Amino acid sequence: MSVTVKAPDPSVLDSKRHQEQKQNITTRGEGMRLPALQACEARTRVSVPVFVCRVPAGFPSPAEDYLDHPLDFNELLIAHPAATFAVRITGESMTGIGIFPGDIAVVDRAIAASDGAVILGILDGEFTIKRYRRRGSALWLEAANPDFAPVPIDQDRAFEVWGVVRHVIRRL
């Protein structure tokens, strides 16, 4: 089986193609639709206070007595700034693990995909986010929704891992 598993060249975020992708969705080849890629940049550091105590929902607490050091979202979400980008989620194949349409997935290209990792990949010219599964020489993509069947990857399919999903951001 000959399957390519690699992350894209780090220059992809600065390329002309990326600039087109940032303008929402672009078409390439035979109607391939590419989602908008969003570079993750730490332009300014913004810190928010973090409380050490656990806060139960619905029960008031004098939390100011438990103020901890400030939390920097850049440190929390971006381990490898030059290799990190974000994509907006469409579809419902990963709802079983809490990834919903409209969420923003933070993808790190510096991390190698391992069995069980949630990855952003290109399968037969289409972007997809699925759980990466490998047992011996068998490779497949697994959804986190029983309505979607596993997708076997064999030598007849074009497949490439673009990065590992490290975080998902959702607005309430």
User: Which residues are identified as catalytic?
Assistant: 93, 130
142, 110: one domain: yes
Segment 84-110 mean pLDDT: 95
- Residue 63's pLDDT is 57
- Residue 71's pLDDT is 79
- Residue 110's pLDDT is 96
CA 126-159-89 angle, 5° bins: 40
Structural domain span for residue 65: 43-77
Segment 11-22 mean pLDDT: 44
Cross-sheet strand order for the sheet of 151-153 = 37-39, 84-88, 104-108, 159-169, 118-123, 126-135, 138-142, 151-153
Is residue 3 assigned to a domain? no
Where is pLDDT greater, at 21 or 171? 171
Mean pLDDT, rounded, of the chain: 78
- Residue 53's pLDDT is 59
Q: Is the model's pLDDT at 138 over the cut of 90?
A: yes
Is residue 33 assigned to a domain? yes
CA dist 101 and 129 (Å) reads 12
47, 96: one domain: no
146, 71: one domain: no
Is residue 48 assigned to a domain? yes
